[in-house]
Amino acid sequence: MSGFFLIKKVLWKMKKAYRMKKSADIELVMKKGFSKANRTFIVYQYKNPMGKGYRVAISAPKKLGKAVARNKVKRQMRVILQQNSHLLKEGFDYFIIARPNVLEIDFLTLIKQMKHVLRLVHQQPEKKVKKNK
């Protein structure tokens, strides 16, 4: 029985190479990155200066509730990202923030919402053209 729980724990753990922990890195992604949002998530994307792989930071604000609720949301987000890692582009950093209505949605809808917002963030931003007056 203990072997089952060990395997389950290993599956949920995100590798260190894919984690972004430093607040300076997260702030850089927020300030200089491109963002898209839907009702459930906000995703910031920024070209990784190191260029290898992708890195992800996950945030569940205190608006979501107490620590138990926030940790549950972060675990669900990690599982969704691991199952859909093909949607994360190599050479980019991602900062994903959960919105308060994430608690009201079932897991299958969370998966659809995450896929949707990741597809949106990968679309190139439109360049604004200045008109000469």
Averaged pLDDT, 48-74 = 89
Is residue 6's pLDDT more than 80?
no
Average pLDDT across the chain, whole number? 82
Ramachandran area for residue 65 (φ above 0: left; ψ -120 to 50: alpha; else beta):
left
Averaged pLDDT, 32-61 = 88
The predicted pLDDT at position 133 comes to 55
Averaged pLDDT, 91-109 = 92
How many C-alpha atoms does 4 have within 13 Å on its Cβ side? 1
Is residue 51's pLDDT more than 60?
yes
Is residue 66's pLDDT more than 50?
yes
**What is the CATH code for 14-121?**
3.30.230.10
Averaged pLDDT, 27-50 = 89
Q: How far apart are CA 37 and CA 121, in angstroms?
A: 8
The predicted pLDDT at position 125 comes to 60
Q: How far apart are CA 124 and CA 127, in angstroms?
A: 9
